Homo-oligomer: A and B are copies of this chain.
Amino acid sequence: MARGRPSRALVRGIGDDCAVLQVSAGHQLLATTDLCVEDVHFRRAWHPALSVGHRCLARGLSDIAAMGGEPLACFLSLALPTNLPQSWVDGFLEGFSRLARRFRVPLAGGDISSAGQIVADIVVAGQTQPGKALLRSGARPGDRIYVTGTLGESAAVLRRLYGGAHVRAAASRRHFYPEPRLEAGRWLRRRQLASAMIDISDGLSVDLGHICAESRVSAVVRAKCLPVGRGADLELALHGGDDYELLFTAPAKARVPDTIAGVRVTEIGRICHQKDYPSAITILDDNGRARALKPRGWQHFRRQARK
């Protein structure tokens, strides 16, 4: 289990007009914000409150991980239906707090209001040394492409839920309690191995597309190299979202280990010049045939799964 140092960053938390944070001397601030909306990002019938609270914070922490940063504090804005049972709120906060405690990220502030459906907005502040944040824009032709963990398992659970199956949260932790890869992200930043990084929240095809667009490169992915997760298939590994794995690139000469911070790392392809392929991402199937991979991502998947 990843453990950071106890937070000394929080000078003044809840109880004033603003929280006051101390960013370490010579460091830059990282900040990310993510919405979790009922019936868009979760359903009360499918997701226990504990899972919703965990996933809410995990989304924010995963963004900090994707920059190779250290989380400092989080802020939570909650709009809740007035008839929401208190037990649901308690469960949500318990799931949120358990993950916050594990990564020593204090809740520094937030807001609360009523609304017709549950809307949670999570803000995570973090820090990194100047110029050391792992951006999406650093991939260069010739770089290798890697992912941590496996892909598609979370989407496979979602497909079963859409299909009417009852899925126990305890048996499908990759979907209900995803693990932000903070330690792996920090390791990559410290070793300066990676040239670009992003977390896979919308699906590999969308998130690798972001790296290609920001780095002005294209990418070739080998289908047979993809670490397809339990219950998933190639389509889900390519387009299913909510994996919260790290997708990064590294120069060909970099010695990227098979495991980082206890998480498996798989080489899945390489970065090319934009002019080499007509599409931003090309996928090579098991027989070496190339086809363009259109970014679809999990919003598309959800629409498909609903049909």
Instruction: Decide if A135 touches B16 in the complex (CB within 8 Å).
Output: yes
Instruction: Decide if A63 touches B111 in the complex (CB within 8 Å).
Output: no
CA distance in complex: A139, B111 (Å): 25
CA distance in complex: A112, B77 (Å): 14
A29 touches which one: B20, B25, B123 (CB < 8 A)?
Answer: B20
CA distance in complex: A67, B119 (Å): 28
A35-43, A218-226, A276-284 - the one binding chain B:
A35-43
A90-98, A125-133, A187-195, A258-266 - the one binding chain B:
A125-133
Q: Can you name the residue of chain B whose Cβ is closest to the Cβ of A15? A: B214
A21 touches which one: B31, B40, B64, B116 (CB < 8 A)?
Answer: B31
Contacts of A25 in B (CB 8 A): 25
Instruction: Decide if A121 touches B17 in the complex (CB within 8 Å).
Output: no
The yes or no answer to A115 lying at the interface (CB within 8 A) is yes
The yes or no answer to A172 lying at the interface (CB within 8 A) is no
Instruction: Decide if B126 touches A35 in the complex (CB within 8 Å).
Output: no
CA distance in complex: A112, B121 (Å): 10
CA distance in complex: A126, B125 (Å): 13
Q: Please judge, given known A-B contacts A37-B115, A117-B115, A119-B119, whether A21 and B29 are in contact too, CB under 8 Å.
A: yes
Q: Please judge, given known A-B contacts A75-B33, A77-B35, A121-B33, whether A18 and B126 are in contact too, CB under 8 Å.
A: yes
Residues from 62 to 117 in A contacting B, C-beta threshold 8 Å: 63-64, 66-67, 69, 73, 75, 77, 79, 108-117
Residues from 5 to 61 in A contacting B, C-beta threshold 8 Å: 11-12, 15-23, 25, 28-35, 37, 40-41
Question: Can you give 19 A-B contacts (C-beta < 8 A)?
Answer: A11-B28, A16-B136, A17-B66, A17-B198, A18-B63, A20-B128, A22-B28, A23-B29, A31-B73, A31-B75, A33-B77, A40-B113, A40-B114, A75-B123, A79-B119, A111-B121, A115-B115, A115-B119, A121-B121
